[in-house]
Homo-oligomer: A and B are copies of this chain.
Amino acid sequence: MNRTELTAAIHAKNSFLCVGLDSDISKIPPHLFSFTDPVYEFNRQIIDATKDFCVAYKINTAFYESCGTQGWESLEKTLHYIPKDIFTIADAKRGDIGNTAQQYAKTFFETYPFDAVTLSPYMGEDSIRPFLEYKEKWAILLGLTSNAGAKDFEFLQTQSGGKVYEEVIAKCASWGTPDNMMFVIGATRAEMLTDIRHIIPNHYLLVPGVGAQGGSLEKTFEYGANGEVGLLVNSSRDIIFADAGKRFNKEARSKAHQLQKEMAGLMSKKQALSY
């Protein structure tokens, strides 16, 4: 999916919600274990319940890998079940030298045909470049993450006066374009989005951390939205594990709808202000 299509979907649905399928098998409602593939069945029902309110699904590969080959089968079936007009992200945070990076790009753009994959930039340009050579595919780079550990290295002051995450964002942005690259910016750092928007005014930002991790949707939008919105705000646990029993899909739908309504409100308020 290209940027024009993604932006159109956001405006058509009045939503920039990404639903995170961190489908931890140990948290799946017990009644689903009568199905041969409980994780897939869970995802299928979550997708049915939330697809009207979101523009993207993000599959966190860790929760599938930990189940071995069965997990990869659940991942594959889930990916193919997602409607074609919804953006798909493999949250895999890969990063390795060139010939290995090529294999990861093949994994997440061909073997499993996602629209986008998250990447760790630590190893530099040759670890990212192979992902940028695919047409209408996206590399989503870790910029400023939402976790406590972000302070360890991302916030290191560099000699040029900035912080490591700022240098990472600026340099990575020079390798691609806003049409094939996004950045992960945690919602728990929403107040930093203004400065980040000075570096990358036009890139889409994938924003985790709203909800369970304490980030604010309103602040994220206030400081992070650009003219075409330019945000995908992710919510995982708050939606998919809203209920631990048979009402899980209904509660997920309700949570997703609630977030979509908040997003629609923020979008229309901004549009009104711009007249």
How far is A213 from B206 in the complex, measured between Cα atoms in Å?
A: 35
Q: Are B159 and A145 in contact (CB under 8 A)?
A: no
Q: Are A62 and B103 in contact (CB under 8 A)?
A: yes
Q: Are A68 and B111 in contact (CB under 8 A)?
A: yes
A148 at the interface (CB under 8 A from B): yes
A115 at the interface (CB under 8 A from B): no
Q: Are B66 and A145 in contact (CB under 8 A)?
A: no
User: How far is the CB of A260 from the nearest CB of chain B, in Å?
Assistant: 25
A73 at the interface (CB under 8 A from B): yes
**Interface residue tally on A, bucketed by range:** 35 or more
Q: Give the one of A106, A127, A160 with max B CB within 10 A.
A: A127
A258 at the interface (CB under 8 A from B): no
Q: Are A152 and B164 in contact (CB under 8 A)?
A: no
Q: Are B148 and A104 in contact (CB under 8 A)?
A: no
Q: Chain B contacts of A158 at CB under 8 A?
A: 156-159, 164
Residues of A whose CB lies within 8 Å of any CB of B are 22, 24, 60, 62-63, 65-69, 72-73, 76, 91, 93-101, 103-104, 106-107, 110-112, 120-128, 142, 145-154, 156-160, 164, 167-168, 171
Other than the given A22-B99, A66-B103, A122-B142, 7 more pairs (CB < 8 A) read A68-B72, A68-B111, A72-B72, A123-B142, A124-B150, A126-B147, A158-B159
Q: Chain B contacts of A96 at CB under 8 A?
A: 60, 62, 91, 93
How far is A147 from B123 in the complex, measured between Cα atoms in Å?
A: 8
Number of copies: 2
10 contacts between A and B (CB under 8 A): A65-B104, A65-B107, A68-B76, A122-B122, A122-B142, A122-B154, A124-B152, A125-B152, A127-B147, A157-B160
Contact of A164 among B106, B148, B156 (CB under 8 A): B156
Q: Are A120 and B147 in contact (CB under 8 A)?
A: no
Q: Chain B contacts of A110 at CB under 8 A?
A: 66
Q: Are A104 and B66 in contact (CB under 8 A)?
A: yes
Q: Chain B contacts of A62 at CB under 8 A?
A: 94, 96, 100-101, 103-104, 107
How far is A62 from B67 in the complex, measured between Cα atoms in Å?
A: 17
How far is A73 from B60 in the complex, measured between Cα atoms in Å?
A: 21
User: How far is the CB of A250 from the nearest CB of chain B, in Å?
Assistant: 25
Contact of A94 among B93, B146, B149 (CB under 8 A): B93
Q: Chain B contacts of A157 at CB under 8 A?
A: 158-160
Q: Are B124 and A147 in contact (CB under 8 A)?
A: yes
How far is A100 from B97 in the complex, measured between Cα atoms in Å?
A: 23
A108 to B, closest residue via Cβ: B65
